Amino acid sequence: MTNINIGRLIKRAEVSLARQMNDFARQNGLTGNQMNIIDYLSRQEAMAADQKAIENEFNIRRSTTTIILQRMEKRSLIQRIVDPHDRRRRQVQLTNSARQLVPIVHAYINSQEKRLTNRFSADELATVARVLRYIEEGD
């Protein structure tokens, strides 16, 4: 077998994907992280979720999530509302401004997903997914 550095390939691919997303996001006055959060929230009930759910979805630290959400709130992309099930918690919800961006965000993400998957068989994609899940779990 050839000498393949999987870790380096994954890192380079991640940087490339992030750069492409940020370039597209910038055209719409967003960052790639903001686009991802808009996409995630748009797929949740009432287009809202608590901060912990966002942290878990993207595997990011609380402090990082707080900074991203503060910037989004400042730009009127999200609002924080009292959780109807637990008044001690706040839900992060998309504003009307962000909701208008949802079709643009979905179209970009869907086109990128097709670009990434259309050259591979279902078995190959399953293998890639299995490898990435293994790496994510850290076992």
Domains along the sequence of the chain with CATH: 6-137 (1.10.10.10)
SS (H, E, C) 44-88: CHHHEEEHHHHHHHHCCCHHHHHHHHHHHHHCCCEEEEEECCEEE
Which of 6-10, 39-43, 74-78 has the least mean pLDDT? 6-10
Token output for 36: 């991802």
pLDDT digits (tens, 9 = 90+) for 110-124: 999 999 999 999 999
